[in-house]
Amino acid sequence: MNRPIRILGIDPGSRITGFGIIDVIGREQIYVASGCIKTIKNDELAGRISVIVEHISEIIETYQPTVAAVEQVFVNVNPASTLMLGQARGAAIAALVLRGLPVYEYTALQVKQAVVGQGKAAKEQVQHMVVQMLKLSGTPQADAADGLAIALTHALRNQGLAAKLGGSMIKAGRFQ
Amino acid sequence: MNRPIRILGIDPGSRITGFGIIDVIGREQIYVASGCIKTIKNDELAGRISVIVEHISEIIETYQPTVAAVEQVFVNVNPASTLMLGQARGAAIAALVLRGLPVYEYTALQVKQAVVGQGKAAKEQVQHMVVQMLKLSGTPQADAADGLAIALTHALRNQGLAAKLGGSMIKAGRFQ
């Protein structure tokens, strides 16, 4: 009997980092938790990075995920924003790897394809599908929903692979 | 009697992160160690971030610095490079704050002003002054020298403040 797979999905942002946690049992995805990590406006970089890494460490401590999936971010037209987003994302991944979690990366296109079934889906459609698939009673905050969507993407892509390969769970993604 | 101040200077880069460690005793700066953290070419992001955070953790464990100083990076003309540099820098600062180190940031201009005495100094002049000030027998690798230059910048800027204020050591910088 395998330990159930618990996926921590992370959507990094320069101001708000969304997260979502789901369990995968067979072909079922079960909601565990979700939320946002908000950094303090106008705080210095080290302060903002502190907030991100401390909260992610706390989330890992509390929910004991077995794997992490992180959204790949787009480069912004504003270079300073791109740098800030990169710093937030680097800090989030650092917190994950320091806790020994395997980290997988998915693009926004892969998230839309996995969750909605087509890459041109609007953000609202992704959020709608997250609510449906996890049988949520309300709509989570947008960043939390994005975190859940990334966790779902990891679950669905591996389920697909597992089905194709006759039931054995294969870990796909960009890094292990 | 105060515990001597041991400064860990970090120059983050997407491929190579330089570091330098110095002790400050009175108005003396004493070389402790320096080197480079090189990530594996073509490795996935989480792998590269792992290398950075694990090596920084190891350096902190070995040398027990009391404070860290990190160079502020410039945004690159290439947005993808800026994102990657941001990620490496975010991971480095995450490793520092996770170990409880106060982190200060200095711009390249501040480093040149502190170490050479003028902001328009060439990179080679900075390296030359690092060798002179720390009485090194050889020239360290460029990234290691940059790490030492940032550590020296923190030492010199605070020494200046301490002198102006009549001897008490004031911690300046952008974050504590």
B113-156 residue pLDDT tens: 999 999 898 989 999 999 999 999 999 999 999 999 999 999 99
Contacts of residue B75, Cβ cutoff 8 Å, sequence gap at least 6: A79, A80, A82, A83, B82
Is the pLDDT reported for residue B176 higher than 80?
no
> B146 a known binding residue?
no
In a domain, A167, yes or no: no
Report the relative pairing of strands A28-38 and A16-25 from DSSP bridges.
Answer: antiparallel
In a domain, A79, yes or no: yes
Domain count, chain B: 1
Query: How many Cβ atoms are within 10 Å of B37's Cβ, its own excluded?
Result: 25
In a domain, A106, yes or no: yes
Asked if B84 lies within 8 A of A86 by C-beta distance, the reply is yes
Cα–Cα dist B46/A70, whole Å: 10
Tokens of residue A91, six digits: 């800090």
At position B137, the amino acid (one-letter code) is: S
Write the secondary structure of B134-146 as one string of H (helix), E (strand) and C (coil).
CCCCCCCCHHHHH
- Interchain CB contact of A141 with B (< 8 Å): no
Residue of A nearest to B47 (CA): A175
What pTM does this model have? 0.85
Residue A68 contacts residue A8 (beta carbons within 8 Å): yes
Contacts of residue B169, Cβ cutoff 8 Å, sequence gap at least 6: B2, B5, B158, B162
CA distance B59 to chain A (A): 15
B64-107 residue pLDDT tens: 999 999 998 877 778 888 899 999 999 999 999 999 999 999 99
Query: How many Cβ atoms are within 10 Å of B102's Cβ, its own excluded?
Result: 15
- Interchain CB contact of B10 with A (< 8 Å): no
Cα B22 to chain centroid, rounded: 10
In a domain, A97, yes or no: yes
Cα A75 to chain centroid, rounded: 18
CA dihedral B111, B87, A89, B75 (to 10 degrees): 60
> A146 a known binding residue?
no
- Interchain CB contact of B67 with A (< 8 Å): no
CATH code assigned at A131: 3.30.420.10
B18-49 residue pLDDT tens: 999 999 998 899 999 999 999 988 888 899 99
In a domain, A166, yes or no: no
Asked if B86 lies within 8 A of A89 by C-beta distance, the reply is yes
B71 a catalytic residue: yes
Is the pLDDT reported for residue B16 higher than 50?
yes
Residue of B nearest to A49 (CA): B94
In a domain, B108, yes or no: yes
Residue of B nearest to A47 (CA): B175
CA distance B138 to chain A (A): 33
Residues of chain A with pLDDT under 50: 163, 165-176
- Interchain CB contact of B37 with A (< 8 Å): no
In a domain, A133, yes or no: yes
In a domain, B174, yes or no: no
Complex ipTM > 0.90: no
Range(s) of the domain holding residue B90: 5-161
Classify residue B164 by its DSSP letter. Answer: H
